[in-house]
Amino acid sequence: MASTEIKGKVVKVPQPAYVLYNGFADLRNFTMALPPDKKESVIATADTIEGEVQGVKMGLQVAKRYPFSCISYSQYGNTPFSFNVAAFFNAIDSTNTEFHIEFEAELPFMIKMMIGSKLQEMIDQITEQLGMAFSGQFDPSKVDPQMLEELKKRYNINL
């Protein structure tokens, strides 16, 4: 397995760095935007979150917290491959922050063949959507599950 590393695009968010940091610091916050029928299968604590994605159990845990600048996460539970994700918050001033995500994984060959070429675009889209959510331009509670299915089809994602 070869290491796959992706640095997402940097977005400017009109929020202080501590606001973004606090949103990512507690993984229970990640369940707030889930539709009620999806929340049932997700178990979250402040430090871990685990659920099922198309029949595959996936989990994430906080590995390190660097207050107001970075939170790094790693795989948790029976996740089928090793990965690390980090969210970076660079305070521009007291009311604006640059935000980006970095992803690193040891992807099995078949998974890399299925989604490897789409990972950069996926990470960039996730970053943009999170930036919009923190900017008040996007309400994650209004995400249409059908839209997510269409995105998976468009990017040929079959995990």
pLDDT at 13: 93
pLDDT at 147: 55
User: What pLDDT tens digit does each residue of the chain (159 aa) get?
Assistant: 568 898 999 999 999 999 999 989 999 988 887 777 777 889 999 999 998 876 778 899 999 999 999 999 999 988 778 899 999 999 999 999 999 999 998 877 777 777 767 888 888 888 888 888 777 765 555 555 565 566 556 555 554
* Half-sphere exposure in the Cβ direction for 32 (13 Å, CA): 10
User: For the whole prediction, is pTM greater than 0.85?
Assistant: no
* Half-sphere exposure in the Cβ direction for 29 (13 Å, CA): 14
* Half-sphere exposure in the Cβ direction for 82 (13 Å, CA): 5
Which residues are registered as beta bridge partners of 52? 57
pLDDT at 151: 53
Distance of CA 71 to the CA centre of its chain: 12
Q: Which domains does the chain have, with CATH numbers?
A: 3-154 (3.30.530.20)
In contact, 6 and 99? CB cutoff 8 Å: no
Q: Residue type at 156? A: N
